[in-house]
Each structure stands twice: as structure tokens, then as C-alpha cells.
């Protein structure tokens, strides 16, 4: 009997907190489909045929460049993931496999970036990007995000590579494979699960970042979706239909991705950060 | 393997990562520190200024008042995260890790959801909810007969910072929850079983057996909170703009840094002073990380298995 009561209490707390976590999200998405009057008069009611009105979405996709900004965000995120995984796996392999004099020192040097936020170097990053003529380009964002994400990627991938049995590499060497072939044809396929973890891990902060898009690519049609939505909200601040629709278009794709990848992401969070 | 071939191998594998990381991460950090020792002239040139910028920042009232204000606000921001976010995260993790809990994965996935979303979206959504115009928050309080409690919290100097902090807590509570949750799952069942056989109930077993074992994770969560909080910017900027109103009540180090460097309606941008602010932030974060490594990490070594 007492066990029963405590189980109910546990579910009550978790259930209430879940409601608190979901309420703002559901509220925004729900009201984005409603007519203006219904948004204000009955905000807590779901959209029904009688008060359905997609005017916000027509505005968002009609007179703005949000589709372009989506493409920018996808380009930046995919580019960052690709470079982070490729360069990170290569460095992790060299650091775990080869013994050389500066090995430990290099590993330490690369791990500085795990704790020190790269944002604090922004003044010099802007000057550097300006000198390279990369202001308002996606290239600048990809390079900065790659630098930002490499340390943790190398850390996670190194742990994974170290677990691969030594015999496997030695056997490949006996067969006469070059070191390059061993890495690209044997090691890379083996660490695919860890790479998936790093990818999911890298994806969310890059997609959601506001700071570097604001500093490095604030205009010229190179805005990411996060910055684009921020600028859009600033312009349409009094148009509630447009604002709610813009927020929803930013929320829904991320949540879909999250639901698809949530298992991998949570595993990544736990394997990466706890050790 | 011949020396030359081995060297080429190392350059091939390590070169790209080291290049990108050094150029876009380490060099900017060092250059920022160096920048903070010069003063930016009106004609765009730089003059050596030693520690002059820091003296200005800490003691000249036009600079020091905003600086201490931002630092104080940032500490409040951090304390609210430590006192609300991490205990709530711990509670949720403890409940989620209970044996034989149904819907475990569903709760975990849904509670973690806000953490996935962009701060811009979160900030704006909460702004709408708390807005007196829409009146959702007021309506909510009224259903419980507490309508008189409602105030435009985000617009009042006295409550804006606390409100922004709590919204940030709401968004990021998933991180301590997940980290502590996994640490709890890693504790061998036999330990808890042994405690229950000795007559402890679930709650006592948690406090006396599990909690001491997850101190390392709680330490890690604390330092992560510290670094993230003193590096925060997005939420305040998205909700209150670069001026961090009302009357700088929500100004934290990140927004101060942005304003100093970029300028705003009130002042011109100044790369040297911006670098000085960034260097101070770096120092604060380094002090936090060092304190963690030397005090917390060393102490808890004894408990880990």
C-alpha cells in the first residue's frame, strides 16, 4: 500500500515537471495556427477548424528569407560536423597510436579548448576573419565552430580508438597496409558509433548558436536560422501571428531531429562528459 | 619506419586539427589577452598601455560601475543556477533512476526537450507567456486565486534578473539531470541492495549510499554551470537586447563584453577595452576551473571506485 502511494507521488512529480517543460513549447506551436483573435481570447485551446488561420506561416515563408537561412544553417552544421569528425578522428588516431616526443604535451594543448570558451577570443577572431576577407561568409562560421568542437571530439574519439584491440592494427600492418589505409579503411569504419555520438553532440550547439552568426555573418543573406529568426522577431514584434509562426518554424525541425536522435544524444552526453 | 616518413605521417594526421584549432581558437585567445594591454586610438592605431585598461575597468567610475554591476549580476545568475537548477536536476535524476519506474525513457526525453531548443526561441516564448498583453501568466495565477501576485516581472528592475535566470534554469535543467542520472545508473545494484537489507529505505539509501558516490559528478556539474554561466550571453541578448535592461538590471559579463566591443547607442565600440573585459572573463573562468581541479577534484578522488 505504501509502495503504491510513493509510486504515485513519483509519477506526480515527474509528470508535473514534464508539463512545465512542455507547456511553453506546446503553447507557442498551438497558437501559431490560430487567428489573431483566438490567440488572445482562448490561448489555451488547441487550434480548431473554426479558429484555424495559417496567416503567420504565409508571412514567414512569403516575405522573408527564412528558407535561405535554413539552408545556411544546414550548410554550416553539416560542414562543421564533417571537418570536426575528419580532423578530429585523424588527430585522435595519431595521438593514441603513435609514440613521439610531444605526444602528451599536444594532447594537453588540444584539451585547453574543452574548458576555455573560444568566445572570449572573439575580438581577435573578428579581426582575423576580416583580414581573411571572410566576414559574412559561411566559411568563417564553419572554421570557428570546427576549432571550437575539435577538443571534445578528439577527447571522445581517442578514448574510443584506444579500445580497439591492438592485434587488429598489427595484423593489418603485417598484411602490408600503409598507415593511411589502416586509418581510412579499418579504423574509421570501426569508430562509426563514436563519430555518430560526436556528430549529434556538435550539431545542437552549432545550430542554436547566436553569438558567432551575430559577430561574423550578420548580413548579406548569410544569416543562420537562429539569427534570422531573431532578426525577424525584432521586425515583426507586434505581429503575433508572424512571431508565433516564426518561433514554431524554428522549434519543430529541431524537435523532430531530437526525437529521432535522442537515444544517441543522451548516450553521447553521458559517455563524453562523465569521464 | 624511417624518420622522414614518420614525420610526414604525423603532419598528415595532426596537421589539419592543429592548424584550425591553433588559428581559430588558441591564437585569438592569446591575441585577445595581448590586445587588452594596448589602447585603441581614435585613428585606429594601437598604443602600448600596460595594465592601464584594467585600471580603467576596475577603478574609473564610467567603466567600473557597469563592470561591477555585471559581475554582481553574473554571480546572482550563477547562484540561482546552483540553488535551483542543480538541486532540481538532482531530484529529477534521483526519481528517474528509481528501480522499476514506468515511462522512464518518456519522462527523460520530454524533460530534456527544452535544452535542445535555441535560446532565442526559448527567450521569446517566455517573453510572450509573461507578457501582460497576452496575459497567460496572469490567467494562470488567477485560476489559483493568486492573480494579485502578477507583475511584469521582466520589466521591473527588482525582478528582471531573477526571472531571466529562472528561464535559463528551466531550459538547462536537463543537463545536470542527465549527467547525474547516468552517474546514478552506474552505481552497482548490490550496494543499494546491501543498504536496504541493513534496513535503510529508498530515501535513506539515496542520501547515505548513492549521494556520496556521485559527488564527483555533482562537482563536474557545478564547474560546467560556472563556466557556462560566466560565458552566457544569448538569453539576455535575445530577451533584453544588448542594453540588458531595465537600467542594466540584467547585464552580465557576456552582454557587457558585447557592448564594450561593439558599442551601442551610448558609447563607441572599443576593441582594447573589449579585450580587457574578455580577459577578465577568462581569468574568472580560469580561477573557477583551477579551484575545481585543485580543491574539489583532489578531494573526491578518495571516494571514486
Q: How far apart are CA A40 and CA A50, in angstroms?
A: 15
Contact residues, chain A, for B233 at CB < 8 Å = 119, 210-211
**In whole angstroms, what is the distance from residue A77 CA to residue A92 CA?**
21
**Partner-chain contact A230 B113, CB within 8 Å:** no
| Nearest chain A CA: its distance from B61 CA (Å) | 24
B246 inside domain: yes
Q: Work out whether the CA dihedral B294, B295, B297, B299 comes out positive or negative.
A: positive
Spatial contact of B13 and A183, defined as CB atoms under 8 Å apart: yes
Query: Number of structural domains, chain B?
Result: 1
ipTM of the complex: 0.87
Q: Cα distance from A129 to chain B (closest Cα, Å)?
A: 9
Q: How far is A83 from chain B (nearest CA, A)?
A: 9
pLDDT score for B145: 79
Do residue B113 and residue A10 have CB atoms under 8 angstroms apart? no
- Mark yes or no for CB contact B278/A154 under 8 Å: no
Nearest CA in chain A to B98: A10
Residue B296 C-alpha cell reads as 574539489
Phi, psi of B40, deg, nearest 5: -85, 125
Sign of the C-alpha dihedral, residues B119, B221, A267, B94? Answer: negative
Is B275 a domain residue?
yes
Q: Could you tell me the residue range of the domain that residue B75 belongs to?
A: 62-303
pLDDT in tens, A224-263: 988 988 888 878 777 888 888 888 888 888 888 888 877 7
- Test A247 with B124 for CB contact under 8 angstroms: yes
Chain A nearest-CA distance from B56, in A, is 19
Whether B27 is covered by a domain: the verdict is no
Alpha helices in B159-233 (DSSP H): 160-172, 174-185, 189-197, 202-205, 211-213, 215-229
Interface mutation vs chain A, best among B8, B22, B23, B25, most A CBs within 10 Å: B25
> What's the CATH code of the domain at B129?
1.10.3720.10
Per-residue model confidence as pLDDT tens digits over B77-130:
999 999 999 999 999 999 998 878 888 888 988 998 898 888 888 888 898 889
Q: pTM for this structure?
A: 0.89
The C-alpha angle B74, B80, B84, rounded to 5 degrees, equals 155
CB proximity under 8 Å: B 24-43 to A: 24-29, 31-32, 35
Say which DSSP state A45 is in.
S
**Contact residues on chain A for B279, CB-CB shorter than 8 A:** 120
* DSSP E strands, B30-111: 38-40, 46-48
What's the DSSP call for residue A47?
A: P
Contacts of B125 in chain A (CB under 8 A): 24-25, 27-28, 247
Residue B271 · residue A123 · CB < 8 Å: yes
Are A214 and A104 in contact by the 8 Å Cβ rule? The answer is no
Structure confidence at residue B205 (pLDDT): 84
Sorted by where each starts, the structural domains of chain A and their CATH numbers stand as 2-56 (no CATH), 64-235 (1.10.3720.10)
Closest A-chain CA to B234: A210
Nearest-Cα distance to chain A for B88, in Å, is: 10
Where is average pLDDT lowest: A89-103, A141-155, A198-212, B268-282?
A198-212
Query: In which band, very low, low, confident or very high, does the pLDDT at A20 lie, cut at 50, 70 and 90?
Result: very high
Cβ-contact A121, A215 below 8 angstroms? no
Size of interface A-B (CB pairs under 8 A): 240
CA distance A33 to chain B (A): 15
Cα–Cα distances in Å, from A11 out to A3, A132, B99? 12, 56, 13
Q: What is the pLDDT of residue A1?
A: 53
CA distance B292 to chain A (A): 12
Give contacts of A10 with chain B, Cβ < 8 Å: 95, 98, 101
Q: What does the pLDDT read at residue A16?
A: 94
Cross-chain Cβ contact A143/B118 below 8 Å: no
User: What are the cell numbers at B72?
Assistant: 554582481
**Chain B residues inside the 8 Å CB shell of A179:** 9
A63 pLDDT more than 80? no
Mean per-residue pLDDT, A17-33: 90
Q: Is B264 helix (H, G, I), strand (E, B) or coil?
A: coil
Residue A88 contacts B, CB cutoff 8 Å:
yes
Computed over every residue of chain B, the mean pLDDT equals 87
Position A2 confidence tier, pLDDT thresholds 50, 70, 90: low
Note whether B95 contacts A147, CB cutoff 8 Å. Answer: no
Going by DSSP bridges, is the β-strand pair B38-40/B46-48 parallel, antiparallel, or unpaired?
antiparallel
- What percent of chain A shows pLDDT beyond 90? 32
Residue B114 maps to a domain: yes
Q: What's the pLDDT tens digit per position in A126-170? A: 999 999 999 999 999 999 999 999 999 998 899 889 888 888 888
Q: Which residues of A touch B271 (CB under 8 A)?
A: 123, 127
**pLDDT (tens digit per residue) in B240-271:** 888 887 889 999 999 999 999 887 766 778 88
Quick count: other Cβ atoms within 10 Å of Cβ A133? 9
Residue ranges of chain B with pLDDT lower than 70? Answer: 265-266, 297-305
- Residue B171 resides in a domain: yes
Using CA coordinates, name the residue in chain A closest to B169. A21
Interchain CB contact of A70 with B (< 8 Å): no
- Closest-CA residue of A relative to B215 is A274
Amino acid at each position: 500500500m505504501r509502495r503504491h502511494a510513493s509510486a504515485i507521488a513519483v509519477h506526480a512529480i515527474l509528470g508535473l515537471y514534464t508539463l512545465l517543460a512542455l507547456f511553453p513549447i506546446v503553447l507557442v506551436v498551438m497558437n501559431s495556427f490560430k487567428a489573431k483573435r483566438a490567440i488572445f481570447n482562448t490561448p489555451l485551446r488547441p487550434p480548431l477548424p473554426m479558429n484555424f488561420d495559417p496567416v503567420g506561416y504565409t508571412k514567414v515563408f512569403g516575405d522573408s528569407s527564412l528558407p535561405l537561412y535554413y539552408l545556411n544553417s544546414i550548410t554550416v552544421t553539416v560542414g562543421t560536423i564533417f571537418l570536426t569528425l575528419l580532423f578530429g578522428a585523424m588527430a585522435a588516431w595519431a595521438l593514441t597510436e603513435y609514440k613521439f616526443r610531444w605526444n602528451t604535451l599536444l594532447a594537453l594543448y588540444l584539451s585547453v579548448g574543452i574548458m576555455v570558451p573560444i568566445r572570449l577570443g572573439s575580438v581577435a577572431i573578428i579581426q582575423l576573419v576580416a583580414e581573411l576577407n571572410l566576414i559574412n561568409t559561411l566559411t568563417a562560421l564553419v572554421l570557428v565552430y570546427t576549432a571550437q568542437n575539435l577538443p571534445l571530439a578528439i577527447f571522445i574519439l581517442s578514448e574510443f580508438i584506444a579500445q580497439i584491440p591492438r592485434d587488429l592494427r598489427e595484423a593489418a600492418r603485417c598484411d602490408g597496409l600503409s598507415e593511411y589505409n589502416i586509418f581510412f579503411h579499418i579504423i574509421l569504419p570501426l569508430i562509426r558509433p563514436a563519430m555518430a555520438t560526436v556528430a549529434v553532440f556538435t550539431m545542437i550547439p552549432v545550430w542554436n548558436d547566436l553569438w558567432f552568426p551575430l559577430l561574423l555573418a550578420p548580413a548579406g543573406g548569410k544569416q543562420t536560422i537562429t539569427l534570422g529568426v531573431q532578426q525577424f522577431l525584432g521586425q515583426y514584434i507586434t505581429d503575433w501571428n508572424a512571431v508565433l509562426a516564426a518561433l514554431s518554424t524554428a522549434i519543430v525541425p529541431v524537435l523532430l531531429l531530437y526525437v529521432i536522435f535522442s537515444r544517441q544524444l543522451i548516450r553521447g552526453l553521458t559517455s563524453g562528459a562523465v569521464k | 619506419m624511417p624518420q622522414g616518413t614518420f614525420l610526414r605521417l604525423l603532419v598528415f594526421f595532426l596537421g589539419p586539427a592543429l592548424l584550425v584549432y591553433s588559428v581559430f581558437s588558441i591564437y585569438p585567445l592569446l591575441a585577445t589577452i595581448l590586445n587588452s594591454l594596448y589602447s585603441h586610438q581614435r585613428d585606429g592605431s594601437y598604443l602600448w598601455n600596460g595594465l592601464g585598461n584594467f585600471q580603467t575597468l576596475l577603478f574609473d567610475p564610467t567603466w567600473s560601475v557597469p563592470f561591477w554591476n555585471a559581475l554582481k549580476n553574473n554571480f546572482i545568475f550563477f547562484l540561482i543556477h546552483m540553488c535551483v537548477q542543480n538541486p532540481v536536476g538532482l531530484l529529477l535524476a534521483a526519481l528517474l533512476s528509481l528501480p522499476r519506474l514506468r515511462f522512464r525513457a518518456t519522462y527523460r526525453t520530454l524533460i530534456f526537450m527544452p535544452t535542445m531548443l535555441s535560446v532565442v526561441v526559448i527567450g521569446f516564448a517566455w517573453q510572450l507567456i509573461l507578457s501582460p498583453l497576452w496575459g497567460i501568466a496572469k490567467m494562470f495565477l488567477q485560476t489559483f486565486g493568486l492573480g494579485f501576485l502578477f507583475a511584469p516581472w521582466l520589466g521591473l528592475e527588482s525582478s528582471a534578473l531573477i526571472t531571466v535566470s529562472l528561464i535559463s534554469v528551466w531550459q538547462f535543467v536537463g543537463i545536470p539531470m542527465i549527467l547525474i542520472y547516468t552517474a546514478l545508473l552506474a552505481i552497482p545494484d548490490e550496494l543499494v541492495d546491501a543498504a536496504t537489507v541493513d534496513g535503510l529505505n529508498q530515501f535513506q539509501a539515496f542520501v547515505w549510499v548513492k549521494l556520496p558516490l556521485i559527488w564527483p559528478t555533482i562537482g563536474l556539474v557545478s564547474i560546467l554551470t560556472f563556466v557556462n554561466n560566466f560565458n552566457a550571453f544569448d538569453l539576455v541578448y535575445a530577451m533584453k537586447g544588448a542594453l540588458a535592461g531595465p537600467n542594466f538590471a540584467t547585464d552580465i559579463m557576456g552582454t557587457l563584453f558585447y557592448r564594450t566591443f561593439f558599442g551601442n547607442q551610448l558609447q563607441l565600440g572599443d576593441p582594447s577595452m573589449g579585450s580587457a573585459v574578455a580577459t577578465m572573463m577568462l581569468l574568472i573562468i580560469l580561477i573557477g576551473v583551477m579551484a575545481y581541479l585543485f580543491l574539489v577534484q583532489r578531494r573526491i578522488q578518495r571516494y571514486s571506485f
